[in-house]
A and B are shown apart, each in its own frame.
Chain A
Amino acid sequence: MSAMLSVKNLAVAFQTRRGQVDAVRGISFEVSKGEILGIVGESGSGKSVTSYALMRILDAGGTIKAGEATYSGIDLRRAAERDMRDIRGREISMIFQNPRAALNPIRKVGHQIEDVLRHHARATRYDARAKAIAALEAVKINDAEARYNAYPFELSGGMCQRIVCAIALACDPRLLIADEPTTGLDITTQKAVMDLVRDLIREREMSSILITHDLGLAAQYCDRILVMKDGEIVEQGDPVQIFTDPQHPYSRKLVDATPRAGETVRSLLPPEDRGSEPTPIVGDKTLLEVRNLTKTYAGKSGPVHAVKGISFSIKQGQCVGLVGESGCGKSTTSEILVRLMDATSGEVIFDGEDIAQVPARGFAKDARRADIQMVFQDATDSLNPRHTARQTISEPLRRLGRMRSAQVKARIEELATLVGLPLSLLDRFPHQLSGGQKARVGIARAIALDPKFLILDEPTAALDVSIQAVVLNLLVDLRAKLGLSYLFVSHDLHVVRLLCDHVIVMKDGEIVEQGAAQDVMSNPKSDYTKTLLAAAPKPPLRRVTN
């Protein structure tokens, strides 16, 4: 089998103010005709830079320092820019993460496809429209004629990714590079998009490179996987082999940290860090009870029913998972519970009192403010960039706890130790901290006042899997140590199963199923839960060891 793309000792460096940064350090691989190659790695591993280097669309300051990249006999490193423009889109094309941002926001999607068709002389002024519509139909867009005139903001994320695929595939390229194509999409959308991409690749006998941080996803869709770390390939092989018998310590760590069936939260960590999992004590007393909660917004075209009369309860010390896709009402529910938003109707009984009666505006002055805290989704955006970690953690202590300086200092250090944040990092600003450290600061801030109830809004969604593993374990430890109750909001069923005792599945503002986590996961009653479970990537199971 001949190699369609062959990369030898490719090295890419970026010129920055602090000198040269080596993003890719001499990697070699091949992609054969008809093969789907997965490149897996965490942020900063150089996986995306590799693909940009192949397309020669590196950002300013980035250059290919050494090595060869040959596509069907063409030297991609030395080809003239004019020739590269012919190759891009016609021979090799790309699809990107965050599809809505990847499309020109003020140009009709049909015209964006036409731009590519016309540029590569695949269409004339007269048949461009028909060909663009055909390209839309090829990516299974219903009512393609009407969609031709749509702007990206009028389409859903999954639909936008289909349009990006249509642009990429319009000129029948031979190689498709997919750079995190489903990051940020819902799990069912992810499956639909990935299935579509795989089918199109197979149907057109194309080759593909799938770049992802999700080892499970790569295992499901790729013929072969490369694992990258710090600009180097640490391991390559077929997916089952990587999962069952990883050779390199880093791939082993990555495999361990990928949540999947039959694991415990501790087994996400490297074996030497595991230790015994604490058993949380779930009391009989109900801490929080939600009765017939509804929330209706005034929308453009009539009222929007975000939450339609849901009821559930959380016991003292319990961890309840709230699962659903975007738009299901889980964020609205958590915002009402944390009292940042007022409900339209319904009761939220916390510790025997209905806190839904206290308006959200005045809840900051309520004595129970300290009891209900939240850990936000994006560890970076939820920290004030001009505040050090110490200032961030001290905020609730000063404002709600009314502590004096000496007390605050002692408490901050106690909290930092509790969340495993080295004391030397306390005076750093968010941009000087890693993702995991920022997550720890966010958690320390949330538990600063000894709350009874924590709402965790996808606290690990923006983190790399190995850091997610550490943060999840920290949350498990804190819950047992401090007797906290959690509402864990997430779209990732595997993570929810690891952490939660009880699961609530929401769809369109209603609870479609709830019950003990094990029951819901292994024996789902509702069709929607079944769909969700089926859509999640199923990485090969770990070989039974020790």
Chain B
Amino acid sequence: MLASTPRLRATLLRIAQSIPVVIGVVVISFLLTRALPGDPAVYFAGVAADTASIEQTRVAMGLDKPLVQQFFIYVGDLLQGDLGQSLSSGRSVAEDLAKRLPASLELTLTALLLAIAIAVPLGVLAATRPGTWVDHLCRVVVTAGVSLPTFFTGILLIYIFYYLLGIAPSPLGRLDFIYLDPDHVTGCYLIDAALMGDWETWRGAAKQLILPASTLALFTLAPVARMTRAAMLTALSSDFIRTARASGLSNQTILYRYAFRNALLPVVTTLGMVFSFALGANVLVEKVFAWPGIGSYAVEALVVSDYAAVQGFVLAMALLFVALNLVIDLLYTAIDPRIGFSSK
């Protein structure tokens, strides 16, 4: 109890600190979308529109009002949970996000889990056997991972596994036409299908997921493997490892209980960073695999100056990052007892 009280307070403080960030994001996303070149009224009025009909569209969209008034209307709607209407899809932005965000999250999280499952053991092995083939393999994978662009690896994987070998399904979206979408619970097909007990659909969704997830995993495992290797090398050369060796502890204990737990901190930091840039970077993967994710949605909205959709996207991402950073901070305190006490 005693130990949890300052930790709880630190957590609440941490959450409170993110409120100004969210407010800032609301303001900046509003201003930035307004600063974009291009006039949405012109776009949505259609090709054949004349000046009068463009003006009519502008009034209908509320774009004739002063900027400050537009902002307050936007914030007022936001407080009621209304993210506005997407003009390109014709649905409400909240509805679009609820459908699209889980698709991106499912892809990114699967990719990340895959990356961790490969990168962390690889990094640990490379650190314990420097100069051997594992170390070299680690170096090759890391170099390949950062130097191959995702759209290239994506297309390469499609070419090999779909076109040449024919073992992967056609790279068109989240689920083949022969399956029905599982009931919407979390929006992640793997989880929803499992909840329904529909393993047929689950397998179908997994098959669609495996190639884009691998593509993204190849890209994200590089920094994780690299950081694991470096952090393990640092940990293994610390004084306390020498103490552990001098007390006769087994290699296994030294490696996992002493070195790896100490190396986790920088690895978790890297994971947080990788996760955030993977969420942004998977636009290319989504495009290649026709994945109906949030990245492609945002790009489409941006092209047509669909203000509400862009703002909704930026806000959703910002909230996600705030939540992610919070989770990482909490992980820190779980891993390292020194954190949370040293801060004021």
Contact = CB atoms under 8 A, between A and B. Distances in A.
Given A88-B248, A105-B338, A115 B240 contact: no
Interface string A442-468: 000000000000000000000000000
A155 interface: no
A216 interface: no
B249 A93 contact: no
Contact of A88 (B245, B258, B262): B245
16 contacts: A55-B246, A57-B242, A88-B246, A88-B247, A88-B248, A90-B248, A104-B262, A105-B240, A105-B338, A106-B336, A107-B257, A107-B261, A115-B249, A120-B248, A151-B338, A300-B341
A153 interface: yes
Given A106-B262, A120-B248, A167-B247, A151 B242 contact: no
Interface string B215-244: 000000000000000000000011110111
A96 B247 contact: no
Given A106-B335, A115-B257, A119-B253, A101 B240 contact: yes
B337 interface: yes
Interface string A87-129: 1111001101010011111110000000110011000000000
Contact of B238 (A84, A101, A115, A167): A101
Contact of B248 (A98, A101, A116): A116
Interface string A247-281: 00000000000000000000000000000000000
Contact of A89 (B130, B248, B262, B344): B248
A103 B246 contact: no
Interface residues of A, number: 32
Nearest to B236: A60
A347 to B, nearest CB: 31
A119 B246 contact: no
Given A103-B240, A115-B257, A153 B338 contact: yes
A90 B249 CA distance: 11
A198 interface: no
Given A89-B249, A98-B239, A105-B336, 6 more contacts: A59-B237, A85-B248, A104-B240, A119-B249, A120-B248, A300-B341
Indicate the member of A89, A90, A151 with the most B CB atoms within 10 Å. A89
Given A57-B242, A300-B344, A119 B250 contact: yes
Contacts of B249: 85, 89, 115-116, 119
Contacts of B261: 106-107
Contacts of A88: 245-248
B341 to A, nearest CB: 8
Interface string B323-344: 0000000000001111001001
A94 to B, nearest CB: 4
Contacts of B338: 105-106, 151, 153
Given A89-B248, A106-B262, A96 B243 contact: yes
A57 B245 contact: yes
Nearest to B336: A106
A112 B261 CA distance: 14
Q: 3 closest pairs, A vs B, by CB? A: A88-B248, A89-B248, A89-B247
Interface in A69-85: 84-85
A86 interface: yes
Interface string A270-304: 00000000000000000000000000000010000
Given A85-B250, A86-B248, A102 B257 contact: no
Contact of B239 (A84, A96, A168): A96
Interface residues of B, number: 25
Contact of A104 (B130, B244, B245, B248): B244
A120 B253 CA distance: 13
A168 B335 contact: no
A164 interface: yes
Interface string B261-300: 1100000000000000000000000000000000000000
A101 B239 contact: yes
Contacts of A151: 337-338
Contact of A93 (B238, B246, B335, B341): B246
Nearest to A168: B247
Contacts of A104: 240, 243-244, 258, 262
Contacts of A84: 248
Contact of B246 (A57, A59, A101, A120): A57
Contacts of A90: 248
Nearest to B240: A104
Contacts of B245: 55, 57, 88
Nearest to B130: A60
Among B240, B245, B247, B336, the one with the most A-chain Cβ atoms within 10 Å of its Cβ is B247
A107 B246 contact: no
Contacts of A59: 237
A93 B258 contact: no
A182 to B, nearest CB: 15
A60 B242 CA distance: 12
**Most chain B beta-carbon contacts within 10 A, residue among A98, A115, A167:** A115
Residue of A104, A153, A164, A300 with most partner-chain B CB within 10 A? A104
A102 B239 contact: yes
Nearest to B241: A104
A75 to B, nearest CB: 17
A454 B93 CA distance: 69
A86 B247 CA distance: 9
Contacts of A98: 239
Nearest to A164: B243
Nearest to A120: B248
Given A98-B239, A103-B240, A106-B262, A89 B246 contact: yes
A105 B263 CA distance: 12
Contacts of B247: 88-89, 93, 115-116, 119, 167-168
A101 B344 CA distance: 24
Contacts of A87: 248
Nearest to B342: A153
Contacts of B336: 105-106
Contacts of B238: 101
A104 B337 CA distance: 12
B246 A94 contact: yes
Contact of A102 (B243, B250, B335, B337): B243
A101 B235 CA distance: 11
A59 B248 CA distance: 15
A262 B341 CA distance: 48
B231 to A, nearest CB: 13
B129 to A, nearest CB: 11
A102 B262 contact: no
B151 to A, nearest CB: 41
Contacts of B239: 96, 98, 101-102
Contacts of B237: 59
Nearest to A84: B248
Contact of B243 (A60, A85, A103, A300): A103
Interface string A486-509: 000000000000000000000000
Contacts of A153: 337-338
A273 B210 CA distance: 78
Interface in A133-165: 151, 153, 164
Contacts of A106: 261-262, 335-338
Nearest to A85: B248
Interface string A202-217: 0000000000000000
- Most chain A CB atoms below 10 A, which of B240, B245, B338: B240
Contacts of A57: 242, 245-246
Nearest to A91: B248
Given A90-B248, A106-B337, A115 B253 contact: yes
B242 A107 contact: no
Contacts of B244: 104, 115
Nearest to A56: B245
A497 to B, nearest CB: 34
